[in-house]
Structure 1
């Protein structure tokens, strides 16, 4: 029995140490740089404890020092620390109904390499061939030593790819095949790296939390307007998954039918948000007969050229988003809505301004409308979100690490890769 107690204490101590290491990494990710004294104050750890953590993270190659800095007061100048950009790497794979995208990111979330294919989603085996080829090409951008610091592959894709084809105006084609194909298992078998699989909206939310505006905001609802619309929920600095991994899936929120003459007739008395707030609905409004042939540059041109049809669609989109977000805010009491999308340029200004004004006008008495901001990554959010998954599971200071849950097991992988080099 004494040995069992000692083993339990040792296990708890190791988990607590790992948790504190993740807290230090989170502080450096949020503040960009800090001294040992800054970290000790922020974590409320002793100088000895924070010194041991800094030494461990430095030996693992996850942090580096920027040299000495004298703050103007008495005493020795402080050593300034920051994340080591090439201390860890992650792959991200975004599978969408009209796009395949693969990226390689460093520890600070910067994209090192990217491959993208604008296409209606092919059959799973064909998509797997394309993704594996892109992953091998991107892996070649790293040295052999750096390849040992790959933390895994993040896979982001809409769940139920074969559903809602009527609302999206897409042919059945190969989509139904995806409902029974396990892309995560296929990638893990072929690439010899752990695969972290999430809904694409949840993955993009992780990117915003880990590398974007979530570094200063712990509570927000995130939405991404792509071919469909996806979303995710962040509360108390962590992403809420839900029982099936679909928390924050705003696409399914019931809304009134669109007033646009180009919108498909709903199959029920109400419609769903994805029919009105999606780039496929914009494409349908631009070219009612030939919209499946339009791609992202075509839609971007409508924004850049201030096409009246874009503004008609935007008004309908905001009209659907306003009551949806009003209900979400009433239920969740969140102060911030982050909306991102595949379109760039003036699209960010248009959507945030008009949605912000509409939410303010619709706010009930004695309640404030949430702030609306555009996301940090635009069209890259899905792929960077996917690449953020292995980083998040390896380095995020989530409480479940302390309980030895599944995330605790994932959190040990990065160190194992490094120590094997």
Structure 2
């Protein structure tokens, strides 16, 4: 793939609408991305479907599909017979056609993931820590990528197309909330993590805000069908979010659109506080420490929280009240069809948060507002690392009609 276009398309076919191709040879790379995007969205398509959706001539379409097949990016399925004329041969994405690595840098843990062309994890590594520093993250990535590449068959290693990074912006500004020493977190000032990792990686490196990357993962790899406009909320160490409009992630002027953590909400004494103080796992950590309980399972076992159910239920109520206020404020500005709530937490905890938030939203005076559907996310604690891995996928192979999520 020769150009730098990028996509924010989704698996459900309603997200990628028919896009028009060009029969001019100079736009061949664009047409290749167009075909890949359509096949990626629909799962598989016959040549006749591709011609109908793109408007490409039969000759141009055949040439492009032969090129993509020669590059091992698409594969032919079994012919479908029983109709008039030649049997239809479905084309689908080759899972081993390309691979992508994603890095999530969190305030309590880092995660490295290797995915195939369909977004299926091939390897994951996780490291917990009291707080992150640049040397710690660089060493984790260097050793982790070397191990992941060693596990790939030799013939596939040159198909790893890039490393995406999902990280909170301005990590040094959250020293007090993270309980980290100021001098440790100040190492992030002036640290260009993308440049540092590019020096040790023989591949393009991309960077995006962690919550926006998680939003992209839900859009691309999530299983809610046909969602094209939604507000996304991710509950991690702190809460963050993202915005999807017209089937693409809207990252905003600085890449921080939907970063709802600083949004003012009502605190315990009726005073305004930031949402991140009311709807973050950090709050539950503090509650556990105050009760003399070990908070490490929150970070070491994001799929299994056991032994502190009563405190977790109390925390869920606090989270729901904060999220409800944020949602009502957000839909007063943009009439989102849906709100998706996800996070680095167990499935049953997420379900309780969704139900409690729905109930809290119902307590507001909603005259003049269309209440959005509130849904659980479908990607879970891997959302940020998967979103990071999707950055090179978008940039190298697919088409986004709206905006880039990150750049090499």
Judge same fold: TM > 0.5, yes or no. Answer: yes
| Corresponding residue number in structure 2 for 1:50 | 61
CA 239–162 in structure 1, closer or farther in 2 if over 3 Å, else same: same
* CA-CA distance at 1:296 after TM superposition: 2.0
| Corresponding residue number in structure 2 for 1:332 | 334
TM-score normalised by length of structure 1 = 0.84
CA 192–297 in structure 1, closer or farther in 2 if over 3 Å, else same: closer
* CA-CA distance at 1:115 after TM superposition: 0.8
| Corresponding residue number in structure 2 for 1:382 | 384
Q: Which aligned pairs between 1:314-329 and structure 2 lie closer than 5 A?
A: 314-329=316-331
Match of 2:162 among 149, 152, 170: 152
TM-score normalised by length of structure 2 = 0.86
| Corresponding residue number in structure 2 for 1:350 | 352
Match of 1:37 among 48, 52, 66: 48
Q: Distance in 2 between matches of 1:62 and 1:302?
A: 37
* CA-CA distance at 1:110 after TM superposition: 0.5
* CA-CA distance at 1:297 after TM superposition: 6.1
CA 215–144 in structure 1, closer or farther in 2 if over 3 Å, else same: farther
2:108–2:299 Cα contact (<8 Å) kept: no
Q: Which aligned pairs between 1:8-47 and structure 2 lie closer than 5 A?
A: 13=24, 16-47=27-58
CA 113–302 in structure 1, closer or farther in 2 if over 3 Å, else same: closer
- Of 115-124 and 351-360, deviating more is 351-360
| Corresponding residue number in structure 1 for 2:175 | 165
Count of aligned pairs: 387
* CA-CA distance at 1:211 after TM superposition: 1.9
- Of 99-108 and 340-349, deviating more is 340-349
Q: Which aligned pairs between 1:11-410 and structure 2 lie closer than 5 A?
A: 13=24, 16-70=27-81, 72-172=82-182, 174-213=184-223, 216-258=226-268, 269-288=271-290, 294-296=296-298, 304=306, 307-362=309-364, 364-399=366-401
1:214–1:237 Cα contact (<8 Å) kept: no
Extract unaligned runs of 5+ from structure 2. 1-21
Describe the SS at the equivalent of 1:190. coil
| Corresponding residue number in structure 2 for 1:3 | none
Extract unaligned runs of 5+ from structure 1. 1-10, 260-265, 411-421
* CA-CA distance at 1:364 after TM superposition: 1.7
1:223–1:229 Cα contact (<8 Å) kept: yes
2:243–2:249 Cα contact (<8 Å) kept: yes
- The root-mean-square deviation of aligned C-alpha atoms, in Å, is 2.8
| Corresponding residue number in structure 1 for 2:8 | none
* CA-CA distance at 1:48 after TM superposition: 2.9
1:283–1:299 Cα contact (<8 Å) kept: no
Describe the SS at the equivalent of 1:74. coil
Describe the SS at the equivalent of 2:113. strand
* CA-CA distance at 1:140 after TM superposition: 1.2
* CA-CA distance at 1:191 after TM superposition: 1.1
CA 47–355 in structure 1, closer or farther in 2 if over 3 Å, else same: farther
* CA-CA distance at 1:124 after TM superposition: 1.3
1:32–1:82 Cα contact (<8 Å) kept: yes
Q: Distance in 2 between matches of 1:215 and 1:195?
A: 30
CA 123–30 in structure 1, closer or farther in 2 if over 3 Å, else same: same
Structure ranking higher in helix proportion: 1
Q: Distance in 2 between matches of 1:271 and 1:318?
A: 15
CA 31–357 in structure 1, closer or farther in 2 if over 3 Å, else same: farther
CA 96–14 in structure 1, closer or farther in 2 if over 3 Å, else same: farther
Of structures 1 and 2, the one scoring higher in RCO (CA 8 A, sep 6+) is 2
* CA-CA distance at 1:305 after TM superposition: 5.4
* CA-CA distance at 1:400 after TM superposition: 7.0
Describe the SS at the equivalent of 1:216. coil
